[in-house]
A and B are shown apart, each in its own frame.
Chain A
Amino acid sequence: DGGITQSPKYLFRKEGQNVTLSCEQNLNHDAMYWYRQDPGQGLRLIYYSQIVNDFQKGDIAEGYSVSREKKESFPLTVTSAQKNPTAFYLCASSISRAMRQPQHFGDGTRLSIL
């Protein structure tokens, strides 16, 4: 079945450490997104990518970085510059720039500080 796979499901970060969250999709979707979810705040957009080798900052990009070298993959790195990284991270994809199509979501990665 087609879908989005996020790994790992749980991740722990030490002070000063960069960590990378994986997101892979086999839906042949052009667009991919990363969101951060905190209790009571809904989903906040970190980065998004419409095509390979191109991505844009979302609303809370500081302290994060991404790459889009392959259509299927959109990894997110949480850098040491992100001082409050504890959150639930969701990756999503959509079929194209036709914004009438919904997003498909992975099952998320929960990041915590050690």
Chain B
Amino acid sequence: AQSVTQLGSHVSVSEGALVLLRCNYSSSVPPYLFWYVQYPNQGLQLLLKYTSAATLVKGINGFEAEFKKSETSFHLTKPSAHMSDAAEYFCAVSDPTSGTYKYIFGTGTRLKVLA
């Protein structure tokens, strides 16, 4: 079955430092991959998506992610953290070949940005 693993339930970075949030998926075929951000008591907002075009995907708010098939990874990065980036981040995957029409979510990574 399709699954998503996010390493690190909590990540802390200093303001201005590199942000790296990890996501690995399990699938025999390349799935579609998504990163979402969630602020407290709100829904999820799409940051970026990979749908088998370019492997380096740029999203909103300066975030980007690189799809690496050999590593089954889709890590999220941002060169310089801002205080407003403090939130919870979710990686999600859909498998168009599964026939189940489900999206599978990781357990989330809470990002803390230190002044």
Binding site for B on A (CB under 8 A): 4, 6, 31, 33, 35, 40-43, 45, 48, 50, 58, 88, 90, 92, 94, 97-100, 102-108, 110
Contacts and interface: CB of A to CB of B under 8 A. Distances in A.
Given A40-B108, A90-B44, 4 more contacts: A92-B44, A99-B95, A102-B34, A103-B34
A99 B43 contact: no
A106 B41 CA distance: 11
Given A42-B90, A42-B105, A42-B106, A99 B32 contact: yes
B12 interface: no
12 contacts: A33-B103, A42-B108, A43-B105, A92-B43, A97-B101, A99-B96, A99-B103, A100-B32, A100-B49, A100-B51, A102-B36, A107-B43
A6 B94 CA distance: 24
A99 B94 contact: yes
B76 to A, nearest CB: 15
B42 interface: yes
Interface of B: 9, 32, 34, 36, 41-46, 49, 51-52, 90, 92, 94-96, 101-103, 105-108
Nearest to A90: B43
Contact of B43 (A45, A98, A102, A105): A105
A31 B101 contact: yes
A31 B41 CA distance: 24
A91 B59 CA distance: 23
Contact of B107 (A4, A41, A106): A41
Contacts of B92: 103
A97 B98 CA distance: 12
Nearest to B43: A105
Given A43-B90, A99-B96, A108 B42 contact: yes
